[in-house]
Structure formats: C-alpha cells, structure tokens
Amino acid sequence: MFSLRLVVLFVHIVAVIVALGGSLFSTFALAPVLAAELDAPTRLRVARRIVRRLGAIVLTSLAVLVVTGLLNVLFIGGVSILLAIKLILVVLVIGLALYQYGNIGTQIWRAAGPSPEVAELQARFRRVGLTVGSIVLLIVYLSLGLTRGTGAIVESIR
C-alpha cells in the first residue's frame, strides 16, 4: 500500500497534474478574464507576474517528472519502443517549456510597456503553452499504453 514504487508513481502523477493544470488554467481561464477585465498596462503587469510564477511551478514540476520518471523506469525494469518515443516527447516538452518561459516569458517580463509586439509575444506564449499541453496529454496516453495496453511493457517482460 505504501511502497516506494507507489509513492514515486503518486508524485509523478501529481507533477503531471500541476504542470498541465497550471498551463490549462492560465490559457483558458485566466488569460481571457484578464483580457476582458483589465486595461492594457495593468494586464501586462499581472501577466508578467503570472508568467514568472507559472514558469517556476511548471519547470519545477517537469524536473520532478523527469526524476520520478527515471525511477519509474527502474521499477518497471525494461525499455520498449513506446517508452523510447515517450522519452523523446519528454525532451521535446522540456525544450518547448524552456522556450516558452525562458525565451518568450523573459521577453514579456522585460517589456517596458504594452505594445503590439508584446501582444504578439503573449499570443505566441499561449500557442506554445497549448502545444506543450497537447504533447503532455499524448505522453499520458502513451503511459497508459505502457502500463495497461495490450503490449504493456510489464507484460512483455514477464
């Protein structure tokens, strides 16, 4: 019930929920409300703080995901093609998240005030966030295939 394997899996799933949930909430709930309720300078100020806080949360969650993911592979005890594809997608997600928060997010953070360029950056920030979210969902689906699908890695090892 309280094995190390279960705890690692629990932390892994919680990290996915935090990373994905935060991005989805920011894109679909917070951004439209900010756009409707606040004037441009205030909206940029709030968006900048959100970018920074969300960046810290998402990137830390991804770090937890990578560490617990490697431990999960140890517990599963095998590597399949499905897992290799998943690992490639994980690297892609980390790269996109770094680009989203470290590049676009930093430019938004450093912007002096509202401008068409900043609006374009914010739109790109949301697009990259949606792409990251979609790939994370694909990874979750692949994970289900790894543990519960017909060609589950656990079964193939046994």
Partner 1 sequence: MGRLTALAILLGVIFTLSYGSGAHIAVRYLNPSFGAWWNANEFAIVECAAAAIGMLIGIRVGARLVQGGALRNRSMIAAVIVSALALPIVGRVSAEVARFKFTSGGSVQAWLIDGFGYDLGSILDKLLMAGVYSIKIALFALPVGMILFGVAIAVFMTTEPAGDTAGATSK
Q: Which of 144, 87, 105 is nearest to 23 (CA)?
A: 105
The reply to whether 7 sits near partner 1 by the rule CB under 8 A is: no
Please say which residue, 53 or 148, places its beta carbon nearer to partner 1.
Answer: 53
Q: What's the CA gap between 8 and 153, in Å, rounded?
A: 18
Interface with partner 1 (CB under 8 A), residue from 9, 11, 24, 71:
71
Amino acid at 6: L
Question: Quick one: how many helices (H) and strands (E) in the chain?
Answer: 7, 0
Q: Is 111 helix (H, G, I), strand (E, B) or coil?
A: coil
The reply to whether 103 sits near partner 1 by the rule CB under 8 A is: yes
User: Smallest distance, Å, CB 38 to partner 1?
Assistant: 16
Q: Rounded to 5 degrees, what are φ and ψ at 111?
A: -65, 140
Stretch that binds partner 1, among 8-16, 29-37, 79-87, 129-137 (CB under 8 A): 79-87
Interface with partner 1 (CB under 8 A), residue from 8, 20, 31, 97:
97
Q: What's the CA gap between 152 and 129, in Å, rounded?
A: 30
Q: Residue numbers of the site for partner 1 (CB under 8 A)?
A: 45, 48, 52, 55-56, 59-60, 62-63, 66-67, 70-71, 73-74, 77-80, 84, 87, 90-91, 94-95, 97-99, 101-103, 105-107, 109-113
